[in-house]
Structure 1
Amino acid sequence: MTREEKATVIEDLKAQLGESGIIYLADISGLDAGTTSDLRRACFKANIKLAVVKNTLLAKAMEASEKEFGDLPEVLKGNTSLMLSETGNAPAKLIKNFRKKSDRPLLKGAFIEEAIYIGDDKLDALVSIKSKEEVIGDIIGLLQSPAKNVISGLKSGGGKLAGILKTLSEKE
């Protein structure tokens, strides 16, 4: 690869890193061609961009990026695949589901909205992260709950109140 080609790859990676707030680094070495193809298909269905990258080029792109990647460049050893997503827990869920059939991919690290996770042991924590849509749904549910209680109370209380008024008016 010539210097110009490397510079182009670094610029492309830098642009991808800049556009995405969710970046996962995984090790997919040891997967055969069929399993790798299945992984790529699963990533495509989950709207996750998967690319095998050269560690040195990715490290230079991280360094040139405006984002602060902390210790993440230190995990760039061996085979590295870059997973980019719009949903924070989608790649973690995909990795966990894929590992039911295979021992790979292994999570090397992740960058999620400026939070950095290093190591495969963080996979369960990443799976449990709620997506933006899930958090909004939870908030809407919490906001609707008191209103539903008030409405149901008024409906049932209205009948009781009318009954009490009717009884009082009959006594007089």
Structure 2
Amino acid sequence: MTREEKSIAIENLTAQLAGSNTVYMADISGLDAETTSNLRRACFKAGIKLEVVKNTLLEKAMEASENNYEDLSTILKGNTAILLSETANAPAKIIKEFRKKSDKPVLKGAYINAEIYIGDNLLDSLASLKSKEEVIGEIIGLLQSPAQRVISALKNQFKDEDAA
């Protein structure tokens, strides 16, 4: 890879990192071609971009990024694939699903909404994170609940007055 190609690759990676609040890093080495293809297909269906990257290029892209990736550079050893998503828990769910059949992919770390997570032991916690849409739905439900009770009470009050 020439210096110019590396520079372009770093710029592309930096742009991808800047465009996503959710970046997972995983080790997918050792997966056969069919399993890797199935993983890519599952990621595509879930709206996740999966890309195998060179650690040195990813490290330089993280340094050039406006986001603070702090300690994530320490996990850049061996093979690294990045999973970029709009939904915080989607990559963790995909990894968890694939782990039912194999011991890979292994979660190295994640950057989610300016928070750093390092280690495969956090996979279950990350998979259980609620998406922005789920949290908004719960808040709306909580806000509607008291209003619905008031409306129901008023309806019952008017029914009682009409019956009298």
The TM-score normalised by the length of structure 1 is 0.92
Q: Which letter maps to 1:27?
A: D
Instruction: Please tell me whether residue 103 in structure 1 is matched to residue 103 in structure 2.
Output: yes
Give the match's secondary structure for 1:23: strand
Superposed CA offset, 1:104-134 (max 9, x none): 1110000001000000011111111111111
Counterpart position of 1:139: 139
Counterpart position of 1:2: 2
Structure 1 Cα separation of the partners of residues 65 and 152 of structure 2: 54
Structure 1 Cα separation of the partners of residues 22 and 13 of structure 2: 14
Counterpart position of 1:129: 129
Structure 2 Cα separation of the partners of residues 90 and 17 of structure 1: 17
Task: Report the alpha carbon displacement of residue 160 of structure 1 after superposing the two structures with TM.
Answer: 2.6
Counterpart position of 1:25: 25
Counterpart position of 1:48: 48
Identity rate, percent: 68
Counterpart position of 1:169: none
Task: Report the alpha carbon displacement of residue 157 of structure 1 after superposing the two structures with TM.
Answer: 2.5
* 1:31-42 matched pairs, under 5 angstroms: 31-42=31-42
Q: Which runs of 5+ in 2 are unaligned?
A: none
The TM-score normalised by the length of structure 2 is 0.96
Counterpart position of 1:158: 158
Q: Which letter maps to 1:136?
A: I
Task: Report the alpha carbon displacement of residue 99 of structure 1 after superposing the two structures with TM.
Answer: 1.0
Task: Report the alpha carbon displacement of residue 7 of structure 1 after superposing the two structures with TM.
Answer: 0.8
Q: Which runs of 5+ in 1 are unaligned?
A: 167-172
Structure 2 Cα separation of the partners of residues 159 and 40 of structure 1: 59
Structure 1 Cα separation of the partners of residues 46 and 94 of structure 2: 8
Number of positions where the alignment pairs a residue of Structure 1 with one of Structure 2: 164
* 1:104-119 matched pairs, under 5 angstroms: 104-119=104-119
Structure 2 Cα separation of the partners of residues 137 and 107 of structure 1: 29
Task: Report the alpha carbon displacement of residue 148 of structure 1 after superposing the two structures with TM.
Answer: 0.8
Give the match's secondary structure for 2:42: helix
Structure 2 Cα separation of the partners of residues 152 and 100 of structure 1: 47
Counterpart position of 1:170: none
Structure 1 Cα separation of the partners of residues 66 and 142 of structure 2: 37
Structure 1 segments (4+ residues) deviating >2 Å: 157-163
Counterpart position of 1:68: 68
CA RMSD across the alignment? 1.0
